[in-house]
Amino acid sequence: MKKAITSIALGLGCIGAVLLLMAHGNRIPIAVVMPERLTEFEGKAIDLYADSLKLLNSFALLVVGGVGFFVQLIFAKESKVDVTFSIRFLLVLAVVLAGVSLVFGYESYVNMIDVVAHGFTFDLASPRVAYFQQLQFWAFAGAVASFGGVSIRMLFGR
């Protein structure tokens, strides 16, 4: 019972932390007014930004799929895998961080659309534009690191 309460508390803490980071990011002002039309450079910047968001989202989903593979190995009928607390923790951490990466990727995409739709220039160096993309990347990096830890422990027994 204590483990369940601890897990719920940690889950709610993670959700609260994500919501606080999102609230902080939405308070960052947009300062530059956009000209009548996008320049060719700004159009390319928007395309590259959207492509990088899609790429990180695809990789985060790949991590979730990899975790699913290991979970399937653990629960297979003929499974002889010794599942320790650290493996379970790293699996859950990988899924949570991949999910957080997906949330921040979506928020980056929404902010990109808001910036352009409300008449502001799309500047990749703008703190408002870069904030959620950086959070998405670091959440993804954490998911990959924890998934790598699971992979090493399960495949090589270390």
> 56 or 16, which is more confident?
56
The pTM score is: 0.78
Residue 29: pLDDT above 90? no
CB 117 within 8 A of CB 51: no
The mean per-residue pLDDT over the stretch 82-100 comes to 87
First to last CA, the chain: 30
Contacts of 104 (CB under 8 A, 6+ apart): 18, 21, 22, 132, 133, 135, 136, 139
The band of 122, judged by pLDDT with boundaries at 50, 70 and 90, is low
Residue 65: pLDDT above 80? yes
Residue 49: pLDDT above 70? yes
> Between vectors from CA 50 to CA 97 and to CA 106, what angle results, nearest 5°?
40
Contacts of 4 (CB under 8 A, 6+ apart): none
